[in-house]
């Protein structure tokens, strides 16, 4: 359960950015890839814990899911995959290690009240 460690890193990062930009952080927007290895519900729960006794207490975590997208060298197009259990083109079946999206664990934006 490393989501608490991730949440602590996120709160520290957002706290620092909030101070730099000025204003109370009301919400934190992140992008979470299907291959990031982070469980969304566990992160939401951990976020609340990590916010306690910080200026971010009471702020909301908004998570945008990022689907796993690979590049198929045979079809020469990007394909969105339903699962990380088979990195292969859903149309022609070619296996591919070229992940184009889905590893994201990224702070995207802050909602600030100034």
Partner 1 sequence: MTVIVPRLVEVRQNVLKRNDLLARALRERFARAGVYVVSLVSSPGAGKTALLEQLLTTLRARYRVAALVGDLATDNDAERLARSQAPVKQITTGTVCHLDAEMVERALEDWDLDALDVLFIENVGNLVCPASYDLGESLRCVLMSVTEGEDKPRKYPTIFHGADLAVLTKIDLADAVEFDRGAALASIQAVRPGMPVVTASARRPNGTAEVLAFLEGRIAGMRAPA
Binding site for partner 1 (CB under 8 A): 1-2, 5-6, 9-10, 12-13, 17, 21, 23, 26-27, 29-30, 35-38, 84-88, 95-97, 99, 105-114
* Nearest residue to 6 via CA among 39, 55, 54, 52: 39
The least distance separating partner 1 from the CB of residue 7, rounded to whole angstroms, comes to 9
- Among 68, 71, 79, 61, residue whose Cα is nearest residue 103: 68
Residue whose CB is less far from partner 1, 23 or 77: 23
Least CB distance to partner 1 at residue 57 (A): 16
Cβ proximity to partner 1, 67 vs 109, nearer residue: 109
Least separation in angstroms between CB 26 and partner 1: 5
Q: Fill in the DSSP letter of residue 80.
A: E
**Residue 44 to residue 93: CA distance in whole angstroms:** 35
How far, in Å, CA of 100 to CA of 14, rounded? Answer: 26
Question: Least distance from C-beta 53 to partner 1, angstroms?
Answer: 19
* Residue 77 vs 106, nearer CB to partner 1: 106
Q: Quick one: which H or E segment has residue 10?
A: helix 3-21
CA 52 from centroid of its chain's CA atoms: 21
């Amino acid at each position: 359960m490393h989501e608490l460690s991730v949440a602590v890193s996120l709160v520290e990062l957002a706290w620092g950015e909030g101070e730099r930009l000025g204003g109370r952080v009301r919400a934190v927007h992140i992008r979470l890839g299907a291959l990031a290895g982070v469980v969304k519900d566990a992160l939401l729960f951990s976020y609340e814990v990590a916010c306690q006794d910080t200026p971010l207490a009471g702020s909301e975590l908004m998570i945008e899911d990022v689907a796993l997208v690979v590049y198929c060298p045979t079809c020469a197009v990007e394909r969105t995959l339903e699962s990380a259990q088979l990195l292969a083109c859903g149309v022609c079946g070619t296996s591919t290690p070229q992940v184009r999206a889905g590893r994201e664990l990224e702070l995207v934006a802050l909602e600030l009240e100034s």
